[in-house]
């Protein structure tokens, strides 16, 4: 637990800052707190409504995918790091599994806010009459850390959870007892954890052959070679789990466009909703600074020999992240263009790049401050 806190505390703080900032930005002014909690818990409550099986199943699978990407960045810390391989602790697999579930629950606290809001709404509106729905929502919340644990240890066992979840949501959609949802989710959890015999899985990264534009050559300039190294390190291996969260924010404007186009939402409100996706996209891209810092840290003496200072390396890394950010903004720009927002689509790039430059500078300041300590 201490190792996990030391390795991922900054990431947890950034996630809480992002979550609180987005909640404050999206909460309507002068709206009662109870109404805001109801709006926050609506996605979870919609899972239990009858007659919408496809929507409920699609929304639940999306929530599980977000939870998977949410914990993928901390998979290395959850396994105990490199030092764990050299220790022989007399810990039974069951205890390690419960410890990992506890850590994952701490990670998921921002994701559990809609579930807590749904529980409050049910108890406030219906009292103890909504006890079956309260139990079903609690069971669905318990599913998130279980799926994350199975994804890191033995992902085929997630099939038991998914099949049981789909069966429970199908029963709720057909108007049957809501107890079936809680029972199905609990059975899926037990089956997944029971058949998950392997406690740890060696993280093997399979390399892929980089394209010709990312090959290193002595005839190329130093900035181009460093940029190629950065891109190959960030996106040149099969580490899709690490970037599921980033992929979610990239495709969020397109998904919102498809979900909200049938609703009677004004152009100004639609523009605000789509623009909110720019903030987490900037924060996730700026967070790649820490990955590049770990990449180049062992090579600092060699860079010094060749006269490549720290400030020069920071500028190259920043330019690479700005170029990557341009590609990440294409879905958002395309969605704005579909709505006829030509000037707003063009303004996304300079505004986002300025925000990204400020966040990159702030992250480098944190890195330099940590090194001095």
pLDDT at 1: 64
Residue by residue, pLDDT tens for the chain (373 residues) are 666 666 677 777 878 888 888 787 777 766 777 888 888 888 888 888 887 788 888 888 888 888 887 777 666 666 655 555 444 455 667 777 787 888 888 888 888 888 998 888 888 888 888 888 888 889 898 888 888 888 877 777 888 888 888 888 888 888 888 888 889 888 888 888 887 754 344 444 444 566 777 777 777 888 888 888 888 888 765 555 567 677 777 887 777 766 666 666 666 666 676 677 788 888 888 888 888 888 888 887 777 777 788 888 899 999 999 999 998 888 888 877 776 666 777 787 888 899 999 999 998 888 777 766 6
Let me know if 46 is exposed, middle or buried by CB neighbors in 10 A (0-12, 13-18, 19+). Answer: middle
Asked if residues 274 and 336 have their Cβ atoms less than 8 Å apart, the reply is: yes
Q: Quick one: the chain helix, strand, coil %, rounded to 5?
A: 80, 0, 20
Question: Tokens 């390396």 label which residue?
Answer: 313
pLDDT at 360: 92
Specify the DSSP element, H or E, that contains 272.
Answer: helix 267-276
Q: What is the DSSP letter of 197?
A: -
3-state class (DSSP) for residue 237: strand
Distance CA(310)–CA(303), nearest Å, equals 9
Measured between alpha carbons, how far is residue 251 from residues 297, 333, 348, 369 in Å?
A: 32, 11, 15, 34
Asked if residues 319 and 360 have their Cβ atoms less than 8 Å apart, the reply is: no
Specify the DSSP element, H or E, that contains 98.
Answer: helix 93-107
pLDDT at 4: 67
pLDDT at 283: 86
pLDDT at 201: 43
In DSSP terms, which residues pair with 207 in a beta bridge?
Answer: 237
pLDDT at 149: 85
Distance CA(282)–CA(249), nearest Å, equals 10
pLDDT at 260: 63
Question: Tokens 């623009």 label which residue?
Answer: 275
Distance CA(339)–CA(336), nearest Å, equals 5
pTM of the model: 0.56
Specify the DSSP element, H or E, that contains 164.
Answer: helix 158-173
């Amino acid at each position: 637990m201490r190792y996990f806190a030391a390795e991922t505390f900054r990431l947890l703080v950034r996630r809480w800052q992002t979550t609180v900032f987005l909640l404050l930005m999206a909460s309507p002014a002068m709206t009662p707190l109870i109404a805001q909690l109801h709006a926050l818990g609506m996605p979870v409550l919609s899972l239990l409504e009858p007659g919408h099986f496809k929507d409920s199943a699609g929304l639940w699978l999306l929530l599980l995918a977000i939870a998977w990407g949410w914990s993928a960045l901390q998979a290395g810390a959850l396994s105990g790091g490199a030092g764990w391989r050299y220790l022989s602790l007399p810990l039974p697999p069951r205890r390690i599994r419960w410890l990992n579930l506890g850590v994952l629950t701490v990670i998921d606290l921002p994701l559990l806010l809609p579930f807590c809001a749904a529980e409050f709404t049910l108890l406030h509106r219906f009292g103890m009459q909504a006890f079956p729905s309260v139990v079903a929502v609690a069971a669905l919340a318990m599913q998130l850390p279980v799926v994350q644990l199975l994804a890191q240890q033995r992902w085929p066992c997630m099939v038991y959870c998914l099949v049981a979840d789909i069966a429970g949501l199908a029963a709720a959609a057909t108007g049957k007892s809501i107890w079936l949802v809680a029972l199905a989710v609990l059975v899926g959890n037990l089956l997944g954890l029971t058949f998950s015999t392997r406690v740890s899985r060696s993280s093997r990264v399979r390399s892929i052959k980089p394209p010709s534009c990312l090959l290193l050559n002595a005839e190329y300039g130093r900035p181009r070679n460093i940029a190629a190294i950065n891109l190959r390190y960030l996106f040149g291996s099969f580490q899709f789990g690490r970037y599921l969260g980033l992929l979610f924010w990239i495709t969020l404007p397109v998904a919102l466009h498809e979900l909200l186009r049938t609703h009677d939402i004004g152009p100004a409100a639609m523009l605000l909703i789509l623009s909110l996706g720019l903030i987490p996209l900037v924060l996730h891209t700026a967070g790649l600074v820490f990955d590049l810092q770990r990449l180049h840290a062992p090579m600092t003496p060699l860079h010094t020999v060749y006269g490549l200072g720290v400030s020069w390396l920071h500028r190259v890394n920043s330019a690479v992240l700005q170029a990557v950010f341009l590609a990440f903004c294409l879905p958002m720009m395309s969605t704005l263009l579909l709505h006829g927002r030509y000037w707003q689509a063009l303004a996304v790039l300079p505004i986002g790049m300025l925000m990204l430059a400020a966040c990159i500078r702030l992250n480098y300041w944190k890195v330099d401050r940590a090194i001095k300590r």
